[in-house]
């Protein structure tokens, strides 16, 4: 049994539903915010209306996660693409900050060394020559040590041969 009052309420609910659906479509086409508050304001309904009609709320959430319908020539942006762009920008910012810090450290070291040398407290200018001489002497030392070990091995071999010969001579007599 329907009464005129119930029929009026149902008609009002259908008008509101139509306004909400239209507001979602318009917001998606124009790239406006797709939030419950924004859609309720545009459709001139209370936010609780959306929460009482779960199908409208689901349609709103679905529209919020879909790419916007292109209305012009520009690219469309979705919430997911904007979040990805934000994450990429944050990562790039972190990389650039690390690079700036690395360059600042290098500059600080270079300036510190320059000031140290200019003050006269730095090492003598012929450090490179002294380092190369040390390297040559170390190489010579290694070669002489190896030659000494070879001579030592030859001497041990000669001693062993001498012992064998002496033993052989002693056994003949």
Give 33-92 pLDDT, tens digit per residue.
Answer: 889 999 999 999 999 998 999 999 999 989 888 765 555 555 666 777 888 899 999 999
What is the rounded radius of gyration, in angstroms, for the C-alpha atoms of the chain?
45
115, pLDDT greater than 90:
no
Closest CA to 64 of 30, 40, 39, 28: 28
Gap between the Cα atoms of 137 and 143, Å rounded: 10
Q: Which helix (H) or strand (E) holds 28?
A: helix 4-30
Gap between the Cα atoms of 125 and 112, Å rounded: 17
Q: For the purposes of burial, counting CB atoms within 10 Å of the CB of 38, is it exposed (0-12), middle (13-18) or buried (19 or more)?
A: middle
pLDDT given for residue 145 in this prediction: 96
Q: What is the pTM of this model?
A: 0.41
Gap between the Cα atoms of 87 and 83, Å rounded: 6
DSSP 63: H
Q: Which residues, including other chains, have CB under 8 Å from residue 120's CB and lie 6 or more apart?
A: none
- Tokens at 146, concatenated: 């190896």
Place of tokens 């929460």: 51
pLDDT given for residue 127 in this prediction: 78
pLDDT given for residue 2 in this prediction: 75
How many helices and strands (H and E) does the chain possess?
Answer: 6, 0
Q: Which residues, including other chains, have CB under 8 Å from residue 119's CB and lie 6 or more apart?
A: none
Give CA angle at 61 (58, 66), nearest 5°: 125
């Amino acid at each position: 049994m329907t009464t005129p009052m119930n029929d009026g309420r149902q008609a009002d609910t259908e008008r509101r539903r139509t306004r909400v659906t239209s507001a979602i479509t318009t917001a998606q086409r124009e790239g406006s915010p797709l939030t419950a508050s924004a859609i309720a304001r545009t459709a001139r309904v209370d936010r609780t209306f959306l929460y009482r009609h779960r199908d409208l709320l689901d349609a709103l959430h679905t529209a919020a996660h879909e790419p916007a319908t292109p209305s012009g020539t520009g690219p469309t942006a979705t919430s997911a693409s904007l979040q990805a762009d934000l994450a990429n920008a944050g990562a790039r910012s972190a990389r650039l900050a690390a690079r700036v810090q690395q360059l600042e450290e290098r500059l600080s070291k270079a300036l510190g060394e320059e000031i140290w040398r200019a003050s006269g407290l730095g090492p003598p200018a012929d450090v490179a020559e002294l380092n190369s001489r040390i390297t040559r002497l170390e190489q010579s030392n290694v070669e002489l040590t190896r030659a000494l070990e070879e001579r030592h091995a030859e001497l041990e071999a000669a001693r062993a041969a001498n012992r064998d010969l002496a033993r052989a001579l002693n056994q003949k007599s």
